[in-house]
A and B are shown apart, each in its own frame.
Chain A
């Protein structure tokens, strides 16, 4: 092999791997990305059946009802409400009035079945997307969250 051929082989190989990686990233992206929606967006636009998406909002006050492992609650952004269900343990900071981001799908009866609920380490957490939404509507004020709730009075975590 001449020096030139050798170099071509190396550069060609690297190029092929990079091209493959770009195609892989594009395909993986197309197949797996999910929309982040607020309740009003979910009400306004249809979501493909069975497609997983991420729903962010606030846990509506007075909406938590626990029955054994099953938890029913409502995610709201002040405009629209979406009924949600979840099975299992919720994060420690999960409570009514608290910001919540959940991964899940829409069921045939238009309720949102959450597969995973995320809450932050931070006790004053509202998803950034919801803050933007509230700010855009002029309904945001600093200190929105208020003081944390005593654990025993949290209907999301005890019957």
Chain B
């Protein structure tokens, strides 16, 4: 019964979204109080309805109601409660429902918290969001209905794909989806700006908090997905340049560019056309990602539960939204006037450089991801573009960005003195070179490019610290005075320094692992020992243990030498499906990890693959720092959604 209620709620939400889109898009010009209220309330009600629909599906999963086809396909009574819940989005239909719920939640928050927006703009934004919601609820209802019943109801379910039975499924997809879908708000604002023709600094001010929120969740989502793949897939890799990974990475690159260009637009009223275009592009790339993942047109290691027939429908939705947005953009863009002027060497110039390199890197990733598809469609030739391509192009394009990154925050708006900024960074250069020399000497194992990478990483991290030190005039005035100065800085100064610091931390981690990890594949019997990077690993033996819905064959190793501890790697054989997964054994020493994957059995014992990954945790610590920086920036009072009334009044005047 609750399932039918949920189904009905979703249908009702669909009807409301259509009404919201119609009301918002047709009546946005001087909306009456009634229209404004209708558009706002439908947005809020939709959230309640879709949340109700989601809750009814979740209840069906938690109670293992196998009369629901989706529950039968993807759940099992023996699964722990947490995995019963996460099974809701561990499949195509349920994950679309989660996607839609987040989309509706963002629309509802614009309706709820957008009270200070001018009525026309808010109505229009909600109209665009209504259109998006209608399209995606429609897609869910008509092609991927999660509420279909099964009669007669089976006694037992088919179990969730074992690889997904992990805490990672509870964390990664929701974060990633909040990030992906959050950019829909930026998209709606961009479309609203293009329709109404009001594009000014205030627009950037309104959009920035939403961009920041989406960006910080996407950052966390990608990082957590990477860590999940690292420990779950048992290959010890953190990034494979797989199409599905690229699909989440491209909106991140575009979103990062948007975050920076919106800054120029907000402060200097410049780069308006580009910022609007980026807002459209970022969400288009999110949609493209959804299409690539959901349609299964790409050969990927991460995708699951895809269906090409649905892919066509998503492609149609994608095409009409992106196509429509670009037509609107082409019609409107020529009427926009360029804003504030600036010299090439200035904060604006640095931010343009940032956008230039992020956008080209994004284009390089897009080319590498889509070119094989296009070539296949046009000529039938099948090629694959792998990590070497991405490492080369992405690495070359990111290097100049990392070199100029510490300069950016030190340059003044409009016109800046590069030499002065260079002098102020002199200490940072020296410290970075010294740190690189020490680290490279300690880790030396033959000639490689690794020291250059480390130098970049240290340069960015130390540069971020130097930026704060400079603002606080550290060592130039008394310590107390410095602290007073730092405390008086706006939060955005801290957040940009922290975000840049996080980038440097990630770079150091990536270079360390790529250049200095060591690996060993061997066969070990009980009692045997091997040595790797100063660690001695001894295989204690294996035992068979029962799990809730699997039996585990656990192999335990003790670690001696450079660090002490025990490691256990498991092969889990799932009762319902007969499938098995490998759980890696990981021991952490500081930021470094020993990673053991015990796999196939041979006549002489177990085949064991051991890695030592120096400073591997830095790779994910970086994004966590970036997300924290985003959070700090969100709490900056200058960015609060209730914009200062002074600006609001300026907006009331119609822009020419």
Contacts and interface: CB of A to CB of B under 8 A. Distances in A.
B604 interface: yes
B360 to A, nearest CB: 4
A159 interface: yes
Contacts of B522: 69
B604 A24 contact: no
Contacts of A13: 344
B600 A157 contact: yes
B523 interface: yes
A89 B600 contact: yes
A76 B445 CA distance: 41
B461 interface: no
A58 interface: no
B650 interface: no
DSSP class of A's interface residues: helix, strand, loop or mixed?
A: mixed
A29 B349 CA distance: 30
Given A33-B384, A103-B386, A17 B521 contact: no
A89 B607 contact: yes
A61 interface: no
B384 A92 contact: no
B52 interface: no
B367 interface: yes
A121 interface: yes
A33 B393 CA distance: 13
Contact of A158 (B368, B383, B600): B600
A15 B375 CA distance: 27
Contact of A35 (B301, B383, B581, B582): B383
A61 B302 CA distance: 25
Size bin of chain B's contact surface: 35 or more
Contact of B383 (A21, A25, A33, A119): A33
Interface in A125-156: 127-129, 147-151, 156
Interface string A79-113: 00000000111111100000001010000000000
DSSP class of B's interface residues: helix, strand, loop or mixed?
A: mixed
A34 B360 contact: no
Given A3-B341, A36-B384, A120 B602 contact: no
B392 A32 contact: yes
Contacts of A88: 521, 599, 607, 609
A121 B386 contact: no
A68 B363 contact: no
A49 interface: no
Contact of B577 (A36, A67, A123): A123
B81 interface: no
Interface in B570-584: 571, 573, 577-582
Contact of A92 (B372, B383, B386, B582): B582
A32 B301 contact: no
A34 B388 CA distance: 10
Given A9-B344, A34-B383, A120-B303, A128 B296 contact: yes
Interface in B323-363: 341, 343-344, 349, 352, 356-357, 360, 363
B382 interface: yes
Contacts of B304: 120-122
B521 A28 contact: no
A11 B155 CA distance: 68
A92 B388 CA distance: 25
A72 interface: no
B393 A157 contact: no
A148 B602 contact: no
Nearest to A127: B299
Contact of A32 (B161, B300, B372, B386): B386
Nearest to B393: A28
A121 B344 contact: no
A127 B301 CA distance: 10
A88 B523 CA distance: 10
Given A33-B384, A34-B386, A123-B577, A151 B571 contact: yes
Given A6-B343, A36-B384, A121-B304, A24 B396 contact: yes
Contacts of A21: 360, 363-364, 397
Contact of B303 (A3, A56, A121, A158): A121
Interface of B: 161, 163-164, 233-234, 296-305, 341, 343-344, 349, 352, 356-357, 360, 363-364, 367-368, 371-372, 382-386, 388-389, 392-393, 396-397, 521-523, 571, 573, 577-582, 597, 599-604, 607, 609
27 contacts: A9-B344, A13-B344, A17-B356, A24-B392, A28-B388, A29-B371, A29-B385, A32-B389, A32-B392, A34-B386, A35-B382, A54-B386, A68-B523, A68-B607, A89-B521, A89-B597, A101-B299, A103-B386, A120-B300, A121-B161, A123-B577, A151-B580, A156-B600, A157-B599, A158-B600, A159-B602, A159-B603
Interface of A: 1, 3, 6, 9-10, 13-14, 17-18, 21, 24-25, 28-29, 31-37, 54, 56, 66-69, 71, 87-93, 101, 103, 118-123, 127-129, 147-151, 156-159
Given A24-B392, A120-B301, 18 more contacts: A21-B360, A28-B393, A33-B383, A34-B386, A56-B299, A68-B604, A88-B599, A88-B609, A89-B521, A89-B597, A89-B600, A89-B609, A92-B234, A120-B304, A121-B163, A123-B577, A158-B600, A159-B603
Nearest 5 A-B pairs (CB), nearest first? A89-B599, A32-B388, A36-B382, A32-B389, A21-B360
